[in-house]
Structure 1
Amino acid sequence: MRIHPLAADGLIAVGLTTVAILLGREAVAQGWSALDPLAWVLVLLATLPLALRTKAPVTVFAFVHAVGVLYIGLGYWPVVVTFGPMLAVYTVASVRPARTTGVCAAVMAAVWVYAGLVTHGSSMASVLAQAIAYPLVFWWFGHIARRTAELSRRLRAEQAERARREVAEERVRIARELHDVVAHHMAVINVQAGLARFVFTSDAPTAREALDTIAGASGEALEELRRMLGLLRADDALAADGAPAPGLGQLAEMVDRVRAGGVPVDLRVTGEPRPLPPGVQLCLYRIVQEALTNVLKHAPGASATVELAYRAGEMTVSVTDDGEGVDPDRKRERGGHGLIGMRERAKLYGGTIAVGPRSEGGFGVHLTLPTSAQAARRGDADADDRQP
């Protein structure tokens, strides 16, 4: 459980206050007068405000040093109130520019010299050395902390930008494949329209059947176009590469290729097979392909199982293996696009996907993809929502 920064600062302030109180009780043993109630109040004021050091670092710094100067001027043992000012200097150095930090370090050095001047029997050479060394050390550590925080923020920003680029590139790649699906539908429409025109007067049933085919193909093409536009978010001109989009008919061939690559794969199909839109088949095919590719790359020696299930209104596909698998976060850090593509494809068709290690060992990918008309419309609406 991660502790809140303000609570952490509060615990640090309480800890330093406890140390100061324990040290203050040793004042008499060190040859100083015992601390009276006013001294104890000043000790508390020199340490407890550190609970707000990250909220107002410069203000806290100025306050604890002012209290320290008053405490020292009243003739109390100076060591008791040194911890708060030192932490205040470090805090300013960790969150403020070098110029502000330099001024604060100089103030701490001046207070240190002042304590040496009002303390009888002090070795000024030692006091001056400490007045230079301590502020310099705390300034340096604070500077390193600030630089580290800046680098961390920059790294997170670069990682977020890289993730956005990967998602955009994957969406364009998917859109190119959808372009191929749409091109297929348009080819069917073109052929059927020619057939309907040719037999329109001589063979009415054939013409009617051709028009029905045109209506179905145009509806599916419209759905794919909406999805493609939802992905692109811009008017990109895409050209098909001429290769037909793979579907469930090529799933067995792909599994055979993976077996030839050295991975034992068990393909199981349940339910009553039925025709599915090309885009849905492409989504299922690509996710199985990526999952098996991950087994090849990241789980050498493992065996895999692919389970494809035809269900009422939906399709499910699971790809599991008994190897060590691949950590999705680590793969993303290495720049992998596959897992991003899986999630984008599932979202595009209104489906849900779970990717990760299994409790019984190995790695698993489970996709549920709705195939009903209502689900398809919901997927289109989701795509439209992503438009700017």
Structure 2
Amino acid sequence: MASTNEGASKMTAIGIDLGSLNARVAIGPSSSSSIPTMVSSAQGARYTLAISTPDQSSSDGSDGDNNNSNAHYVFGEAARRSLQRGGGGSENTRLVRHLSTLSVSDILDDDDEEFKKEQEEAKEEAAKASNAFLAHLATLACDATSSTASSSRIVLSVPNDASHDMIQGIVQRTEDGVKSLIPSAEKKSIKKRVKKGECDDNVVLAVLTDAAAVCLAHGLPSVAANDATAATVKNILVIDWGATGLSLTHLTNLGSSSSSNVLSTVRSTTSSSLSGSAIRTLLVKHCAQLFERKNRLPLGTIMEESKKARLKLQNVCDETLRTLSKSNSVPVTIDGLYDGLDLNVVISKPRFDVLCHSLLRQAEEILMTFAHVVPDDGNKEGETKKRQRYDAVL
């Protein structure tokens, strides 16, 4: 995403990482700093929970402004608290990453007209939630750069296996979300300029794969073009371990020289069983078992019988995982977790490594398998595979 400051011709690059559970917004490197600056949410967090729930306080029966979806949804910590209170069940909780990819083809071909109507209503509700969340992220970006939504231009990244309909859905959701922030008077002015051919009203300029976007964010492969002595970056391995799975992508630079760089995806693989959510679940179950044993509760009480306690524990474990990357031990404390009983345990990094040992071994096996490739002259019987050498691993 790029925004132009008022009265300035220089574009400011803004990166938005929309994950399955969390989203981050950052301002690109400037002349004074070579490191991107993270944009904090309204609560001061460096990430925003990518979940939206209907805002009950705004449901007063009035129609309001249909273009202002922000009046009907809450995000981030407010949404998290809503879920903890039990106000956001599966029927009204929205994972925006998945909803933004919905398209007409997702509605099943069924003879039941009532079923079709329900699917259409669900898709419309999903679009509203997605538009509102993307507008929320765009607002954070514009406020941080003192720019306006009308001056913003976006380059989207999509999964490697994204279908044409999925890409269209993402582009449409992004266009609608950002344009909802533009005042009506300014929209009319833009329409007049478009008719005269002075500008276009497209917010999305281009679409890249997620792996290619990661390479560009790290300055590859163009880094070689800026240094005559640098070796050409040919093969790049991108490892993305997110909330929904582990993805490995091999990219190659097809450019014939350091001044011409064209990235192409050679191959990719994804394992949904090795997800960030799986790691969190291991920690949640471990803490729940410690709590149950200490208080002599039946095993499975937290995970199976108390949804509220489970949500509390999941939220705390999310923060614990982030802290464990910087500390050797983290206290996990929750007042009144279940039936007035408090949770107070300490998770050490060695203990956490033991919990995740099986997942880490699986990830290592997938990585080692992916790093071995068949020679170009064919896979003859008895021929061993060679290990691919990567110029960069991101």
TM-score range, shorter chain: under 0.3
TM-score, normalization: structure 2? 0.19
Higher helix residue share: 1
Higher strand residue share: 2
Q: Which has the larger radius of gyration?
A: 1
